[in-house]
Amino acid sequence: DLCLTSDEHLVAIHNLTINACSDVEEVTGSSDDYFVSEHTLEELLQFNFGAKFLNKNGNRPYQNLVSVDQEDRATVIRDNKLNVVTIDEIFERYAKTDLMFIVEIKDSGEKGKKAADILNSLISDGFKDDNLLKRVVIGTFHNDVEKYLKNTYPNIMRGGSVGEVTKFVMTQMFGVNIFDSSSFACLQIPVSEAAFGITIKLNRKTYVKRAHRRNISVQYWTINEKEEMRNLIELGADVIMTDNPDVLSELLIEM
């Protein structure tokens, strides 16, 4: 998940604000929302992004790593790998591996489009020799950003937008998939979704099979229970997004 800073760096963070995961409130003395888009990368590097991490014992091992008024805060935080990181750094670290990347643009509007421009530059030019064009999929929940990606950078693999995914599922449900003209590479979906006053189950073998016939990867989020992971793997899911990779790893060994 990527958000754009005020000086146009893409940093990896789930929320548009940093309050939920960092010590920003202790450092600033304010509980106001601290938006990524309103601050520079240098400003963000002053915060401990491991401060609110809870381990399985219910402890916060990194909470008091660095004091609020410590002069070398940024250095200590970086030395302990608890700083926010940019997508440039992530690609730099893992470009030479065989890892694949699912990237989500969190910003909407012009910021979202700028994020798309930056990602295209990195994937198509910056790390061209590492063939990231075939290893990175970009998604967004914002239809305007998805449309911009589709029209401006057709060579980039995309996850389906909400509108595209809804259309795909509905055409499959009613057996009119002849009218489906999906151009996305990945179907990124939860196991169920509420629509029109009903709950639609999306963990069906028919959806997986029909997506595979169109060379579309089926990717479920966010799956944290082992048995649900097992069921999806047996259905033929290509990707499982989880907060508990250790549980998934354990399951794969079992299977």
Pairing of strands 10-12, 217-220: unpaired
Is the per-residue pLDDT at 102 higher than 70?
yes
Predicted confidence band at 182 (pLDDT cuts at 50, 70, 90)?
low
Tokens of 212: 């595979």
- Predicted local distance difference test score (pLDDT) of residue 197: 81
Predicted confidence band at 181 (pLDDT cuts at 50, 70, 90)?
low
Is the per-residue pLDDT at 162 higher than 60?
yes
Predicted confidence band at 180 (pLDDT cuts at 50, 70, 90)?
low
d(CA 101, CA 122): 13
- Predicted local distance difference test score (pLDDT) of residue 175: 67
Stretch 29-46: mean pLDDT, rounded?
Answer: 97
- Predicted local distance difference test score (pLDDT) of residue 161: 72
Hey, how many other C-beta atoms are within 10 angstroms of the C-beta on 206? Answer: 11
Share of the chain above pLDDT 70, in %: 96
Is the per-residue pLDDT at 53 higher than 90?
yes
- Predicted local distance difference test score (pLDDT) of residue 196: 72
pLDDT in tens, 194-217: 877 888 888 999 889 989 998 999
Is the per-residue pLDDT at 73 higher than 60?
yes
- Predicted local distance difference test score (pLDDT) of residue 234: 97
Whether 66 and 77 have beta carbons less than 8 Å apart is answered as yes
Is the per-residue pLDDT at 167 higher than 90?
no
List the end-to-end C-alpha distance of the chain, in Å, as a whole number. Answer: 30
Whether 28 and 4 have beta carbons less than 8 Å apart is answered as no
